[in-house]
Amino acid sequence: MSRRILVTGAAGFIGSNFVRLLLGRGEDVFIVALDKLTYAGNLANLQDLLEKYPKKLVFVKADICDAKQIEEIWRQHQIREVVHFAAESHVDRSIMGSGPFIQTNVVGTQVLLDVAKGLGVDKYLQVSTDEVYGTLPEDQPEIKFTEETPLQPNSPYSASKAAGDCLVRSYFHTFGLPVLTTRCSNNYGPYHFPEKLIPLFVTNLMEGKKVPLYGDGMNVRDWLYVEDHCDAIWTVLNKGRMGEVYNIGGNNELTNRRITEVVLLQMGKNWDESVQYVKDRPGHDRRYAIDAGKMKNELGWEPKHRFEQAIQTTIDWYRTHESWWRGIKSGEYLKYYQQQYTGR
Ligand code: NAD
Ligand code: TDX
């Protein structure tokens, strides 16, 4: 019998790429793609897959905070594995208001864990982030986040993710729930919502607008192509040891200035006409860097994509999918953009 997997947040950026990867590879799976379809969820991200794989993929609109609904879905589809992507995921929005972050990232995780405990599960994988570790010094490049680094979240977003991770840990220790946790660095690639750095900058430039660079532009992130992240999650789901945490990264640290230069170059734009320095993000973490040694040594996983090529593929995707992002960059998005970048 096919593996019966619940994928939460499946209509978002990474969730939809994960479903696409598994079905594209012909894995023997039956996937229940669950999503509340918040501003960040988009059924268009799954539409072609739903048409191509009607026997392997179903979509269910549901809120992970609704225990009754989750129980019904679990029973109806005989769920045995969970990959939990669903989250409020944007740091700047968590600074505007943390309520939805606590609700979905903490309460929603607790609901999923309780349903898993009550109805039974073979594997539950929590998709988390390097941001739970806080920030690193920029003048000590040898220091990176390991799985033993203490959790020191600095934004309401990362605090809510860390709270979710702590609940997952507690259900392993207290109830013996078979859980796995992954913590990944910044992803980029197709279907990335255009509020995040790379898709925002690419689409702004395509619209003839400037790109808003926070502070001095020297904050550092580690960038991983989304397909590599999805492949790493599948590797952990198949080979990971229960109760363990696995850090996932691209060994690809770049300042935001460097990312901006690369994007401008590939899009034939010049710095002075295109870049606008704007006020810094409050509490802006200076540097993230991942030590992914455990993934390599224990599970044999390494990223396959090189940044130079994959960023080009990503930009090309936004060029050929204009209707996808133009549809998003209207309505509610415009209100958010105005508030975030002009304070009005
Ligand atoms: P995203 O915002 O693109 O997608 C999140 C999805 O979750 C959306 O489709 C949304 O509709 C859905 N969702 C939100 N609240 C829900 C609820 N209450 N019930 C059901 N569905 C709900 O986010 P993403 O970038 O795809 O991130 C996915 C996961 O990966 C998150 O848990 C995030 O913390 C983690 N992560 C992201 C990155 C990154 O660079 N994007 C890096 C590391 C970890
Ligand atoms: O307009 C901008 N200008 C800018 O300079 C935006 C949106 C971002 N930035 C900077 C802030 C960060 O230093 O770019 C960097 C990346 O910002 P985001 O794309 O917002 O990502 P980040 O805050 O690093 O968080 C991302 O990676 C970890 C995801 O959104 C999280 O969900 C994930 O956990």
Q: What is the atom index within ligand 2 of the atom nearest the CA of 186?
A: 27
The closest alpha carbon to 156, from 248, 227, 90, belongs to 90
Looking at residue 40, the DSSP 8-state letter turns out to be T
176 token code pair? 């013996």
Q: How far apart are CA 289 and CA 243, in angstroms?
A: 23
Residues in a beta bridge with 58 = 32
Question: First vs last Cα of the chain: how many Å apart?
Answer: 55
Instruction: Measure the CA–CA gap between 34 and 7, rounded to whole angstroms.
Output: 6
Structure tokens at 330: 């209207």
Domain coordinates of the chain in residue numbers? Answer: 3-190+224-251+284-307
Query: Three-state SS for 335?
Result: helix
CA of 219, closest atom in ligand 2: 13
- Distance (Å, whole) CA 170 – CA 250: 29
Task: Check residue 1 and give its pLDDT.
Answer: 87
pLDDT (0 to 100) of residue 344: 72
Regions of the chain short of the pLDDT cut 50: none
pLDDT given for residue 47 in this prediction: 98
For 258, what's the count of Cα atoms within 13 Å in the CB-facing half-sphere? 13
**Nearest residue to 324 via CA among 199, 224, 178:** 199
Output the CA 158–ligand 1 centroid distance in Å: 13
157 is catalytic: yes
CA of 195 to the centre of ligand 2 (A): 9
Helix count and strand count (H, E) for the chain: 15, 12
pLDDT at residue 279, rounded to an integer: 96
Give the whole-angstrom CA distance, residue 70 versus residue 34: 9
225 is catalytic: no
- CATH tag, 3-190+224-251+284-307: 3.40.50.720
Residue with the smallest CA separation from ligand 2 atom 20 is 196
- Candidate of 126, 145, 157, 186 to mutate for ligand 2, largest count of ligand atoms within 8 Å of Cβ: 186
Q: What is the pLDDT of residue 342?
A: 86
- Cβ pair 319, 202 in contact under 8 A: no
What pLDDT is recorded for position 331? 83
Q: What is the pLDDT of residue 50?
A: 98
The reported pLDDT for the residue numbered 240 is 98
Q: Of residues 157, 188, 225, 288, which has the active-site annotation?
A: 157
Is 130 labeled as catalytic in the residue annotation? yes
